[in-house]
Amino acid sequence: EARAAAAAAGGKRKVVMLSCRVHPGETPCSHTLRGFLDFLVSDHEHAVALRAHVTFVVVPMLNPDGCYHGNYRTCSLGTDLNRAWSEPSPVLEQTLVKTKELAMQYANDPDVDLEFFIDAHAHTSSKQSFLFVNPPGDVGDVAAWERTAALPRLMDRNCGANLGFSLAACKFCSDPSKAGTGRRVVGELLAPAGTMCYTLEMSFYTPPPQHQAWSATTSNEDAYESFGRAMALSFVDYYGLRDDAKSEAVMRRVEDATATAEGSRSRSATAPAAAFVVTGDAMFGFGASAGGGDAA
């Protein structure tokens, strides 16, 4: 309620930016984005509330020529665009140039707060959908860790179980081999704005809601669109636009960590929290050495 009231009171406009389909063969991400957008523009009360508080900026297809030609990973010139974000050619890789310019336009706008950048992909071997997550710049900033972890936690609440999202599979990733990816490059550009950057990896094996078991034959458009709608509800929860006790508990962790960082709690209470976060990402249930596995 406090977050919603603050937005309604005339604070900076919240902005969420999403990009998709830099790899043409990763079609599940497009079906997921379709479900996300269908919900977002619907008359559902939560969608209406979300549009009133947040602007969503969407780049639905970063590699249109690669998609047109039926390529799996590259553009029509054979370039893996998700390794070309650092210095894209203004002639040959215009979509990357313009997407970076668009992100900077919002980051530099004094009237908006670009909070999220999410680049959507699909994963050919993982049996769960998950997020690669940019770690905070200051590894000792407990509030930043909690804030960055909030979206994965909320997606675990809304997209887990039958929809196939796994919090335990999410990875804080600084793998040098991914230095040229959208998440990493845009994350560095937007670091002064505090934008949280993620790569969404949709599993090719996501089952539809009525199935419990993983199978290559149970993934379909409906399952991915359902995931997209559930992801939209995660933003509803992040911005406090509906009553859900468990989601509110996730956001309360962020608020408590922020209050601690601002000195409203004792120094002795801060030290264990910082140690907990810095020594291994126990918040996601996996080791600190997570480096990123397969290519994104």
* pLDDT tens digits, 41-82: 999 999 999 999 999 999 999 999 999 999 999 999 999 999
Is residue 207 very low, low, confident or very high in pLDDT (cuts 50, 70, 90)?
low
Interatomic CA distance for residues 32 and 202, integer angstroms = 8
- Read off the tokens for 222: 């409906």
The pLDDT value recorded for residue 43 is 98
Cβ 209 vs Cβ 163: under 8 Å: yes
Kindly report, residue by residue over 236-272, the tens digit of the pLDDT: 999 999 999 999 999 998 998 888 877 644 444 444 4
Q: Which CATH class is domain 1-266?
A: alpha beta
Q: What percent of the chain has pLDDT over 90?
A: 63
Query: Would residue 45 show up in a list of annotated catalytic residues for this protein?
Result: no
> How sure is the predictor about 228, in pLDDT bands with cuts at 50, 70 and 90?
very high
Residue 56 is predicted with a pLDDT of 98
- Give the bridge partners for 198, in sequence order: 118, 133
CB-CB contact of 73 with 265 (8 Å): no
Measured from the Cβ of residue 233, the count of other Cβ atoms closer than 10 Å reads 24
pLDDT higher at 290 or 186: 186
**Closest listed residue to residue 234, CA positions, set 178, 165, 135, 291:** 165
Residue of 26, 93, 146, 201 marked active site: 201
Q: Report the 10 Å Cβ neighbour count for 2.
A: 9
- What rounded mean pLDDT belongs to the chain? 85
133: closest CA among 112, 156, 116? 116
How far, in Å, are 54, 98, 164, 242, 290 from residue 2 at the CA level? 15, 35, 31, 12, 35
Q: For residue 193, is pLDDT > 70?
A: yes
Q: Where are the domains of the chain?
A: 1-266
Q: pLDDT per residue over 16-52, tens digit each?
A: 999 999 999 999 999 999 999 999 999 999 999 999 9
Q: What is the pLDDT of residue 263?
A: 63
